[in-house]
Copies of this chain bind each other. A is one copy, B any other.
Amino acid sequence: MTRTGRPRSQQADEAILEATRQALVDLGWGGLTMSDVAARAGVAKTTLYRRWANKNELVVDAVAALFDELRLPDRGSLRADIEGVVLQFGRLLERPETKTALMAVVAESTGDEALRCRIREAIVDRQKHLVIAGRRHAQDRGELPPDDGADPTAEIDLIFDVIAGAVVHRVLVSGESVDGAWAAALAALILGGLAGTVA
Contacts and interface: CB of A to CB of B under 8 A. Distances in A.
Q: Tell me if A's interface is mostly helix, strand, loop or mixed.
A: helix
Contact of A185 (B29, B99, B158): B158
Q: In the complex, which range does the number of interface residues on chain A fall in?
A: 35 or more
A80 interface: no
A55 to B, nearest CB: 9
Contacts of A108: 28-30, 104
Contact of A196 (B124, B161, B188): B188
A108 B29 CA distance: 7
A176 B157 CA distance: 10
A169 B174 CA distance: 15
B100 A103 contact: no
A110 interface: yes
Contact of A189 (B30, B119, B193): B193
Given A158-B166, A158-B185, 9 more contacts: A96-B111, A99-B110, A104-B107, A162-B189, A164-B169, A168-B169, A188-B193, A191-B196, A195-B196
